[in-house]
Structure 1
């Protein structure tokens, strides 16, 4: 910048010629210079003020816009993000159909050690072994005095245990916060829930992973943050589950059974309201699986889903319902029941001698093997297999549990005439009690296929129709006759109009053949018979009860049926089913239809 000179030579020379004072020229130029300097300073200050004002306007405008956006948006919890690997420890609750908690999370602490920071490792080992009797003092001493720099001691602690460890006063013993899975109802619904364990672990957090049951089947869903903590609502009712387990446990003891299972299911939806398998376990302290021997000896074994049993005479309603649907028979049709019946080199007997013939209604009520086989022969092998396959007996049930695929029925590879005969009365094909409950629900559901589920409120497409509505109603009437005048009379709970079928099947030996004194006793029932709403299946493994004559009985009518009757008395009121006056079902008089004659081979 060129500054204006104070005493310009040209003006000074001219001023001297005219007699002017040169100092006035200097003063004038100095004033002009000062004025220019002030103008520049003023403009600079104005620019700085404008810049500062712009900064404040932008800043406060940004804050105002953000506040407006927050005020108009949906409320949400802030989330912290990190660039490193994150251990997802949050897990959604599991509730029953009424929102009561079955599984939740509990904040607890883990215990770990830094042996190099310990002051008195010998005392620490001794005190820890005293607080935790399952720990080995000698092993702790070796770990604490060796070269290890880190050691897990306990993955979860109770508040009392944490305080006891804290009182040791050892700086090398440290606590880390974490969440653990808690099952507040203990053993209740243990096989359904399954249990959980820890996955990836850190000193301040740990993954909680499902081990079995719905915990494993829905593991990804329960851990998904996108669900925002929404609980997984199961179809079971906590009150009904508790009542079922209490009655089933007492019945198992009274009947001297090795194990027991029961399934209580809604017919229209397939939702399981209660399902129990005994013996059971506490998922808070899940036992180790058996590594040898019979898997069913383990309390982890779910008899309702994994059990593969020959379910005996409960199968007899299937060929009968199919034959009624095909219009081959009706309830009054007379069938040749001359016993024994010969198929190839095999003889098929009835438990009692029922004479030369019985009506179809009496074949079901009296549970005639021979009569059922003759009806199955009318259908033929292929039609019989096709119907059982559509009922679900050739595949695992679609239940939402990891154990579901392991319960695939044992179906004969070959299906000769004798296999068709034995399967007709429940031998030679082994399936789970849940398969049986689903099949009975299908018949009671007006003949439309029912698939079991453990999820409440989930809409399923309407099932395929397997038999006509008329045939389904007749089949239920026949099952009602088993209760009113057949082998299940002790299940005739007044006011609930029970219909069902008993089944007593000899247990197969692992080496081949069957035990003479070991059976599986089952009672499959639906109620009320006039408008079926619920299915109940009860199975006892190796039951045995005394008889009036001082002997011993293992048949389902004296073992599984009384247990089922008590279950119905307890469960029906819990689901709001009021006892009604028994509806009068049509009396079925056995009569041979015109033109139909059946003779023995």
Structure 2
């Protein structure tokens, strides 16, 4: 050992040393390779675990969401008109929901959502997203574009549910007839509500209301005629600067409602103003004193009673005075009038005296029989109940004879007018298709055919020579009666505010359709100094007939008119 150290100190090398260093290098290289292999193994194992977990996550069911499952029970049948044109249908829409437990940053989520939905209520949405519940609605019924833009935001805890939304291609054209559905696609008004009551709601609850199982629901309406009526009403409101207007086209032989509209109305696709008072359905849910159109029923009553003949006369020289009340004619002739003249000149005195001939109880019974004093029977839920005096006295009978003192709906008035001119058959109105045979099965004979024939004659006389001249449509033999009623304001009749209406029937020699048009609180049209029914509602009815008669299949006839008039005109 000492010798070995000496050799090292003297600088002499020892032969075994290179062998030892080579051995040490091999050991170093071996340990480095092992470390690399171990490191690689660790990495491979780590990524293998990640890969396995990713596969497991991919195979696992997604975590349950708090969102309710989609419900096929929300489906509704299409509503179509008598020609198969779609009036209402379901479309797919998307509703936005949030899962507060999965929301990372509520403020950030809301700020992002408001870039797509700027009208989103910040405070309300914040409370919902911080509620800690499993599910909250944020916005129902979004468009596909809104859904795509929100999805692109990539907000955790935000999702969509596919739902059904009701879509009305005609917008406001038939809104009061079709009605509305709520956010869950349940009918809440109009024919939508009626459809639910006929069993759709039960099918939805049982899960059987599948779209492929729902047949289209057909109405009696004609979309083409409905558009005409709606268009004429809008023009009339503008032309006469009126508060409202309405109209109905009724099949006189079947009772089918072919068209019905009331304006102002609303868009059922966005019914934000549907509950405003002025947008109510005035045709079936509005009550009005109908004015002189009621004289049609008074004359029909008098003639049908047998106590009055078409050739009789009534003295209209002086007003009728009863107690503190005085009944005058608007444009009095101050002479004796024949029955046709009473109708032609719309004499309050003459019709009042006819009511006296029949008697108070007979008058009330007759109007009840005509369906004018009780709630109308039809499918539409929005139907008002007429008002009348609790106790009928002589003054009531006199004023009711010319349309003041009771309030009824325009649709009821049109139905009663149909009975007056169709041969005396009272047919309850329907919004569903009905044949003439089906209508006759349930019809009630409320007057003789002879009386109905005489009333058709009087209707035609009034259009040819009376206040209904502006409703005449060449070739269609229009007959009708005007009604200008003063409205009650603060308990008294107003000279300035009127409810004007016109009842028309065509062709009057064999009536197929009844048209009633009204305008509420009209002003004189440009170039006119008055706003009576003959100057506005008669024009509206004539325009509706002119545009719709060809579409309804009524052929014009330019032959001979009705028999020579019996009236001696002054």
Q: What TM-score, normalized to structure 2?
A: 0.82
Aligned 8 A contact 1:111 1:153 in 2: yes
Deviates more, 1:130-139 or 1:447-456: 130-139
Partner of 2:550, secondary structure, is helix
Match of 2:494 in 1: 515
**Aligned-pair RMSD on alpha carbons?**
2.0
Deviates more, 1:84-93 or 1:526-535: 84-93
1:194 Cα deviation from its structure 2 partner: 0.6
Match of 1:424 in 2: 401
- Does residue 483 (structure 1) correspond to residue 456 (structure 2)? The answer is no
Residue from 66, 84, 104 that aligns with 1:99: 84
Partner of 1:283, secondary structure, is coil
Residue from 572, 578, 585 that aligns with 2:562: 585
1:86 Cα deviation from its structure 2 partner: 7.1
1:145 Cα deviation from its structure 2 partner: 3.9
Partner of 2:518, secondary structure, is strand
Render the CA deviation track for 1:486-508: whole Å, top value 9, x for unaligned. 01111111111111000000111
Deviates more, 1:262-271 or 1:581-590: 581-590
1:546 Cα deviation from its structure 2 partner: 3.8
Deviates more, 1:145-154 or 1:312-321: 145-154
**For 1:194 and 1:527, how far apart are their aligned partners in 2?**
29
**For 1:380 and 1:100, how far apart are their aligned partners in 2?**
50
C-alpha change, 1:564 and 1:107, in structure 2 (3 Å) is same
Match of 1:286 in 2: 271
Partner of 1:421, secondary structure, is helix
Match of 1:449 in 2: 426
Aligned 8 A contact 1:333 1:590 in 2: no
Residue from 515, 534, 542 that aligns with 2:513: 534
**For 1:94 and 1:344, how far apart are their aligned partners in 2?**
56
Match of 2:542 in 1: 565
1:296 Cα deviation from its structure 2 partner: 4.0
Render the CA deviation track for 1:381-419: whole Å, top value 9, x for unaligned. 111111100111111211211112xx1111111110000
Partner of 1:306, secondary structure, is coil
Match of 1:385 in 2: 364
1:566 Cα deviation from its structure 2 partner: 0.8
**For 1:343 and 1:215, how far apart are their aligned partners in 2?**
50
**For 1:583 and 1:153, how far apart are their aligned partners in 2?**
69
1:150 Cα deviation from its structure 2 partner: 2.2
1:264 Cα deviation from its structure 2 partner: 0.1
Matches within 5 A, 1:106-185: 106-185=91-170
**For 1:153 and 1:325, how far apart are their aligned partners in 2?**
65
Aligned 8 A contact 1:361 1:588 in 2: no
1:578 Cα deviation from its structure 2 partner: 1.8
1:329 Cα deviation from its structure 2 partner: 2.3
Render the CA deviation track for 1:414-458: whole Å, top value 9, x for unaligned. 110000000000000101100111001111220011211000136
Match of 2:38 in 1: none
Consecutive unaligned residues of structure 2, counting only runs of 5 or more, are 1-68
C-alpha change, 1:480 and 1:390, in structure 2 (3 Å) is same
1:289 Cα deviation from its structure 2 partner: 5.7
Consecutive unaligned residues of structure 1, counting only runs of 5 or more, are 1-83, 200-207, 592-601
Render the CA deviation track for 1:197-249: whole Å, top value 9, x for unaligned. 134xxxxxxxx210100111221434434893112110000111111111111
Partner of 1:245, secondary structure, is helix
Matches within 5 A, 1:354-369: 354-369=333-348
**For 1:417 and 1:371, how far apart are their aligned partners in 2?**
15
**For 1:514 and 1:307, how far apart are their aligned partners in 2?**
18
Deviates more, 1:442-451 or 1:266-275: 442-451
Matches within 5 A, 1:289-300: 290=275, 296-297=277-278, 299=279
Deviates more, 1:456-465 or 1:148-157: 456-465
**For 2:239 and 2:71, how far apart are their aligned partners in 1?**
53
1:87 Cα deviation from its structure 2 partner: 6.5
C-alpha change, 1:582 and 1:358, in structure 2 (3 Å) is farther
Partner of 2:183, secondary structure, is strand
Q: How many residues align?
A: 489
Render the CA deviation track for 1:123-164: whole Å, top value 9, x for unaligned. 220122232233122432343345344220111110011011
**For 2:514 and 2:566, how far apart are their aligned partners in 1?**
27
C-alpha change, 1:582 and 1:422, in structure 2 (3 Å) is farther
Aligned 8 A contact 2:70 2:162 in 1: no
Match of 1:403 in 2: 382
Moved over 4 A (4+): 84-87
- Does residue 493 (structure 1) correspond to residue 478 (structure 2)? The answer is no
Partner of 2:258, secondary structure, is strand
**For 2:434 and 2:444, how far apart are their aligned partners in 1?**
20
Aligned 8 A contact 2:72 2:209 in 1: no
**For 1:189 and 1:178, how far apart are their aligned partners in 2?**
24
Matches within 5 A, 1:308-347: 308-347=287-326
- Does residue 195 (structure 1) correspond to residue 180 (structure 2)? The answer is yes
Deviates more, 1:520-529 or 1:215-224: 215-224
Aligned 8 A contact 1:339 1:350 in 2: no
1:359 Cα deviation from its structure 2 partner: 0.7
Render the CA deviation track for 1:471-499: whole Å, top value 9, x for unaligned. 10101100111100001111111111111
